[in-house]
Amino acid sequence: MYDGDMRKIVVANWKMNLTLRESLQLAKDVVAESAKVHNVDIILCPSFTALPGVGPLLPRAIALGAQDVFWEEKGAYTGAIAPRLLVEMGCRAVLVGHSERRQYFQETDAMANKKVLAALRAGLTPILCVGETSEERRAGQKDYVVMRQVQEAMRGVALLGTQELLVAYEPVWVIGTGQAVSGDDAEHMSQVIRHTIADVISSVAMERRCRILYGGSVDAKNVADFTRRSVIDGVLVGGASLKSSSFFGILAAVSS
């Protein structure tokens, strides 16, 4: 999905915001704009219902991603979506363990682990989201919390063959607030995540197959302070990915 260290990744998480018609329009706009953007890999994550419509609009250079996945391959799991069904829709990536899934759907690190493993088995790139709450940060536990989340979600993960993994540091307390953490803060956490992953998988796999993103109130003004840092490989954008004007501002700032 990405080649070379120069390239940065921008993931758009549209969450539960756009209708099918709005999703198709925004996807078309992003495709047109992407011709002006250099060294940026874009991943669009629409709602499940928009996947079959948005997928065929995207050129190879823009990846389709889903916002969630279930870990079983098939069976009596009402409402759940299996990894192979996402692959069938053309998805190449999937968000796993987003803080909103943890908050509203009681998802745990153990569930995130099953989803990461199932996504990898199906050939999808998991975008594992981790991050501390404001209470955890105030208690001085942020490094520890994020290390534990990464360790537990990556249990049994080896990253073989062409498998890839993205890990997004998303401090829960800044998501959707308009107030991102500082670039230094994100860089520190990116290093914490990098070292934690290096304990789980080989250093070669870490270098070649793992990328670390920052997410949480990323906008056109602050994005470059994250992506100019070599240890931050890209960003995960929620609110500012919903309008072409704000999303294009981000793409332009990341483009080189």
Instruction: Judge whether 136 counts as a catalytic residue.
Output: no
Per CB under 6 A, the segment of 66-74, 77-85, 148-156, 213-221 that binds ligand PGA is 213-221
Q: Out of 55, 97, 171, 215, point to the residue binding ligand PGA (CB under 6 A).
A: 215
In angstroms, the Cα distances linking 197 to 30, 44, 51, 160, 207 are 32, 25, 31, 15, 10
Alpha helices in the chain (DSSP H): 20-34, 51-54, 83-88, 99-104, 109-121, 134-138, 142-153, 183-200, 203-209, 223-227, 244-254
Range in contact with ligand PGA (rule: CB under 6 A) among 33-41, 75-83, 194-202, 211-219: 211-219
Residues in the chain: 256
Residues 6 or more apart whose Cβ sits within 8 Å of residue 43? 1, 9, 10, 11, 12, 62, 63, 64, 65, 92, 93, 127
Catalytic residue among 100, 132, 136, 170: 170
Helix (H, G, I), strand (E, B) or coil at 143: helix
Q: Please report whether residue 217 would count as binding ligand PGA according to CB under 6 A.
A: yes
Check if 22 is active-site: no
The residue to which tokens 């800044």 are assigned = 174
Q: Rule CB under 6 A: is residue 216 a binding residue for ligand PGA? A: yes
Query: Does the protein bind ligand PGA through residue 239 (CB under 6 A)?
Result: yes
Residue 244 to residue 86: CA distance in whole angstroms: 25
The answer to whether residue 46 forms part of the interface with ligand PGA (CB under 6 A) is no
Stretch that binds ligand PGA, among 2-10, 132-140, 200-208, 215-223 (CB under 6 A): 215-223
Residue pair 135/142 in contact (Cβ under 8 Å)? The answer is no
Least separation in angstroms between residue 201's CB and ligand PGA is 24
Of the two residues 10 and 240, which places its CB atom closer to ligand PGA in the complex?
A: 240
Q: Which of 62, 166, 238, 251 binds ligand PGA (CB under 6 A)?
A: 238
List binders of ligand PGA among 156-185 (CB under 6 A). 170, 175-176
* DSSP structural state of residue 237: E
Closest by alpha carbon to 43, among 68, 66, 16, 65? 65
Give 119 or 172: the residue with its C-beta nearer to ligand PGA. Answer: 172
Q: Measure the CA–CA gap between 76 and 84, rounded to whole angstroms.
A: 15
Restricted to residues 62-91, the positions that interact with ligand PGA (CB under 6 A) are none
Instruction: Assess 126 for contact with ligand PGA (CB under 6 A).
Output: no
Cβ nearer to ligand PGA, comparing 83 with 97: 97
Cβ distance to ligand PGA smaller for residue 82 or 175: 175
Cβ closer to ligand PGA: 156 or 176?
176
- Tell me which residues touch ligand PGA (CB under 6 A): 13, 170, 175-176, 215-218, 236-240
Q: What residues act catalytically?
A: 98, 170
